Amino acid sequence: MLKIYGVYKSRATRILWLAEELGVPFELVPVLQAYKLEDPMAEGVRLNTRSPEFLAINPMGSIPTIEDDGLVLNESLAQTLYVAKKQGGPMAPRDLHEEAQMLQWSLFAATSIETDALKISTANNEGRLSTEAGQQEAKVLARILARPFGVLEKHFSHNDYAVGGRFTVADINLAEIVRYAQAYQPLFDAHPKTAAWLAHVQARPAFKAMWEKRLTEVE
């Protein structure tokens, strides 16, 4: 059985959303981010990203990590691409060309969007986005993100999904990164096709089921 190390309030949402879509049985091993604990190395503290037993599995101490049939993967985008291809079906690539496109969109999101989008998410989570300084910060980040979002806008002006005219793992990888910027509405107002695509994929029952578990997760 697929084993997922992590918590819902982390990048594990990518593989957990995919598992919901595919109906893949899995065991979730709760591993909390060490920064959320006062002393992650204290005796009796819960399993976290600095726990020696977890570091033995993932030396980087990051979540999620998966184990499947003896394979250990520590990068979330690799995890989703692997599980989708292993399971097959419409969410997986149908041929080499689609596989390359799914890789391209996943890497594009990770390299061109995630860093700056995550700063918007962090500002929102820390309550700074409601301040004038936070809004100015988000405005600067939105200007940086305008170029990759422009690429998405052009694509989704002519396509309902990322690859192959259907919902695939590429949409999960892309949406879960684009989501980090979702708290800054002006960026999405300027890119309505991208906003519509994101709303559409987030309306899927599997996303809603995953998100509900994230919202009710007790840390």
Half-sphere exposure of 156 (CA within 13 A, CB side): 25
pTM summary value: 0.96
**Which pLDDT band, with edges at 50, 70 and 90, does 153 fall under?**
very high
Q: Are 72 and 7 in contact (CB under 8 A)?
A: no
What are the structural domain ranges in the chain? 2-88, 96-204
Q: Give the Cα separation of 103 and 51 in Å (integer).
A: 32
* Cα separation values, 124 from 2, 112, 129, 142, Å: 33, 20, 5, 14
Q: Which tens digit of pLDDT belongs to each residue from 47-85?
A: 999 999 999 999 999 999 999 999 999 999 999 999 999
On the question of pLDDT at 218 being above 90, the answer is no
Q: Give the Cα separation of 153 and 179 in Å (integer).
A: 15
pLDDT at 77: 97
* Domain boundaries 2-88, CATH class: alpha beta
On the question of pLDDT at 89 being above 90, the answer is yes
Q: Which tens digit of pLDDT belongs to each residue from 154-178?
A: 999 999 999 999 999 999 999 999 9
The percentage of the chain sitting over the pLDDT mark of 70, rounded to a whole number, equals 100
pLDDT at 134: 95
Q: Are 170 and 106 in contact (CB under 8 A)?
A: yes
Q: Are 138 and 120 in contact (CB under 8 A)?
A: yes
**Which pLDDT band, with edges at 50, 70 and 90, does 103 fall under?**
very high
pLDDT at 193: 98
Q: Are 31 and 5 in contact (CB under 8 A)?
A: yes
On the question of pLDDT at 187 being above 90, the answer is yes
**Residues in a beta bridge with 28:** 4
* Cα separation values, 200 from 31, 140, 143, 175, Å: 31, 27, 25, 10
**Which pLDDT band, with edges at 50, 70 and 90, does 104 fall under?**
very high
On the question of pLDDT at 219 being above 90, the answer is no
The percentage of the chain sitting over the pLDDT mark of 90, rounded to a whole number, equals 99
Q: Are 2-88 and 96-204 in the same CATH fold?
A: no
Q: Which tens digit of pLDDT belongs to each residue from 133-149?
A: 999 999 999 999 999 99
CATH architecture for segment(s) 96-204? Up-down Bundle (1.20)
Hey, is 72 helix, strand or coil?
A: strand
Burial-class residue 200 by CB neighbours within 10 Å (0-12, 13-18, 19+). middle
CA angle 12, 59, 126 (to 5 degrees): 45
Burial-class residue 109 by CB neighbours within 10 Å (0-12, 13-18, 19+). buried
**Which pLDDT band, with edges at 50, 70 and 90, does 7 fall under?**
very high
